[in-house]
A = this chain, B = another copy of it.
Amino acid sequence: MCRWIAYSGGPVYLEELLFKPKHSLIDQSLAARSGETTTNGDGFGVGWYGTGATPGLYKGTQPAWSDENLLDLASQIKSPMFMAHIRATTGTAIQRTNCHPFRHGCWLFQHNGVIYDFQRVKRDLVLAISPRLFPEISGSTDSEIMFFLALTFGLQDDPIAGVEGMIGFIEDVGRRHGVARPLQMTLAIMDGQTLYAFRYSSEGKSRTLFYSESIAALRQYFPDVHTFSDDARAVVSEPLGTVENAKRVWIEVPESSAVVVAAGAVNVTALRPRAPI
């Protein structure tokens, strides 16, 4: 299990969301409140859109709480759209190629959750990945396979359809192998313009996911911070801030749904997973 955050809005220094809030993502790496595991110390990563053609990536295999480079970079790098992830492995190796976010062209992807009985279904999943994408697989996680399956099923043309196809296919393969509840996930996906977030699980009891509705709420929550623009929105696997404030600021994403954030507008739609024929 892992924790993550995704941001869209006016450019802010990464530290505004990664380090400064109470119960920030970095705090959660040492002690998460609502996750399956309290410690998320098996690596981390941040992906951001800057001035380059592709988004930047900074990942490490050590715990995020003790990485001095991250502290410095987060106070130097400003971005209008970024995501960050802290990892608690569900069994695969702790290595940079297993750290989120994953990148393909201008797309970033990160995941919290698990493909159950992954070693049993992995071969069938890998075989379904487009041969054109196959050489790009560089790690050994279920998450990276999910990304390449979603890409195979059209994520770049229609992100929601790509993810629905990926979910449907993994559930199909899992059930063929006798796995009752094949998938558990929250996802963040970005292309530099739009932020997509997903909450889904085969059992209908998904990992938590929240979004911030308006800048008024964000500003109330971060009273000392005036850097957020009117269209600033964040999606998080666990509320930042004090427990009391959290309820007022963060809105839970419903089961089996997608959240689309573009230019400050938030749209929530139901997911219809189906295996590509």
Contacts and interface: CB of A to CB of B under 8 A. Distances in A.
Interface of A: 30-31, 38-39, 41-42, 48, 50-52, 56-63, 66, 68-69, 72-73, 75-78, 89, 92-97, 119-120, 122-123, 126-127, 131, 134-135, 137-140
B73 A58 contact: yes
A96 B96 contact: no
B93 A138 contact: yes
Contacts of A138: 92-93, 140
B96 A73 contact: no
Contacts of A48: 76
A41 B29 CA distance: 11
Contacts of A96: 68, 93, 95
A12 to B, nearest CB: 12
A123 B137 CA distance: 10
B76 A89 contact: no
Contacts of A75: 52, 56
A73 B134 CA distance: 26
A35 B97 CA distance: 28
Contacts of A122: 134-135
Given A42-B66, A93-B97, 7 more contacts: A38-B38, A41-B63, A51-B76, A56-B75, A57-B69, A95-B96, A120-B135
Contacts of A94: 62, 66
3 tightest A-B CB contacts, nearest first: A119-B135, A95-B95, A56-B76
Contacts of A41: 39, 41, 63, 66
A78 to B, nearest CB: 7
B134 A137 contact: no
A1 B95 CA distance: 22
Contacts of A134: 122-123
Contacts of A56: 72-73, 75-76
Contact of A123 (B30, B42, B66, B131): B131
B69 A58 contact: yes
A267 to B, nearest CB: 30
A38 B140 CA distance: 29
A202 B126 CA distance: 29
A137 B140 contact: yes
A61 to B, nearest CB: 7
A60 B84 CA distance: 20
A77 B126 CA distance: 36
Nearest to A62: B62
A96 B71 CA distance: 14
